């Protein structure tokens, strides 16, 4: 299978929590963006919840006939894309024409034809693959072969990070640890949502970079 080189890059507190409202208050927040740029992965994958909070224009209201088969629609060529998994098509978007980093929405094949038509009307690219949930491996293959994505950074939240990990798609894990503790019960971790019988994934430490403000950048290969 062809796929991009995929790295998961996150900033977290020392107890592994990734809430953005918390991490922005920690030293190391500036280094997070420096280290992300250093990874040279212009295509970024954000989870649906993160996209709903930070990027989307609201919720999509509509029903319709399910697509029922794999398909994709590429609207434009770009050096990098914002890739958003949205399994059944729930997020609304503004027109994406002329965007410097165009959107690509990932859905499963049960997405409604109405939602895909809505994306088409907003000049938004999409990939529909996987019968009942997104086939991340196949979506990554399409991103590589059809969209020309060679390097891709998965930047959270914890559930989408865990999905790429569980699918065996990650080549690297890049963690910027801010010098602070969250400690709040129930807050999302860097990797989250996997079943209780999931075995730990062994990593190989490749580099450690400390910063004067107490932050530490760790890079691991899988």
Domain borders along the chain are: 3-219
Q: What is the pTM of this model?
A: 0.95
Q: Which residue reads 């999509």 in tokens?
A: 60
165-171-174 Cα angle (round to 5)? 85
Q: What is the pLDDT of residues 195-207, one digit of tens each?
A: 899 899 999 999 9
Cα distances from 30 to residues 42, 53, 117, 188, 208, in angstroms, run 18, 21, 39, 21, 17
Per-residue confidence (pLDDT) for residue 54, from 0 to 100: 82
Per-residue confidence (pLDDT) for residue 105, from 0 to 100: 97
Question: Tens digit of pLDDT per residue, the chain (222 long)?
Answer: 799 999 999 999 999 999 999 999 999 999 999 999 999 999 999 988 888 778 888 888 877 899 999 999 999 999 999 999 999 999 999 999 989 999 999 999 999 999 999 999 999 999 999 999 999 999 999 999 999 999 999 998 899 999 999 999 999 999 999 999 999 999 999 999 888 998 999 999 999 999 999 999 999 999
Architecture of domain 3-219: 3-Layer(aba) Sandwich (3.40)
């Amino acid at each position: 299978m062809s796929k991009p080189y995929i790295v998961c890059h996150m900033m977290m507190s020392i107890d592994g929590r990734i809430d953005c409202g918390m991490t922005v208050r920690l030293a190391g927040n500036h280094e997070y963006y420096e280290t992300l740029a250093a990874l040279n992965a212009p295509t970024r994958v954000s989870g649906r919840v993160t996209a709903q909070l930070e990027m989307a224009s609201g919720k999509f209201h509509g029903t319709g006939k399910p697509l029922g088969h794999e398909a994709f629609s590429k609207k434009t060529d770009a050096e990098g894309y914002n890739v958003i998994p949205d399994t059944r098509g729930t997020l609304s978007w503004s027109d994406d024409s002329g965007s410097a980093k165009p959107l690509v929405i990932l859905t499963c094949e049960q997405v409604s034809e109405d939602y895909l038509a809505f994306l088409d009307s907003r000049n938004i690219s999409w990939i529909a693959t996987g019968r009942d949930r997104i086939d991340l491996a196949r979506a990554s293959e399409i991103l590589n072969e059809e969209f020309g994505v060679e390097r891709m950074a998965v930047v959270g939240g914890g559930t989408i990070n865990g999905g790429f990990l569980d699918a065996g798609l990650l080549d690297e894990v890049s963690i910027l640890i801010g010098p602070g503790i969250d400690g709040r019960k129930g807050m999302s971790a860097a990797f989250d949502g996997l079943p209780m019988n999931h075995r730990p994934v062994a990593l190989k430490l490749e580099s450690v970079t400390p910063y004067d403000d107490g932050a530490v950048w760790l890079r691991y290969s899988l």
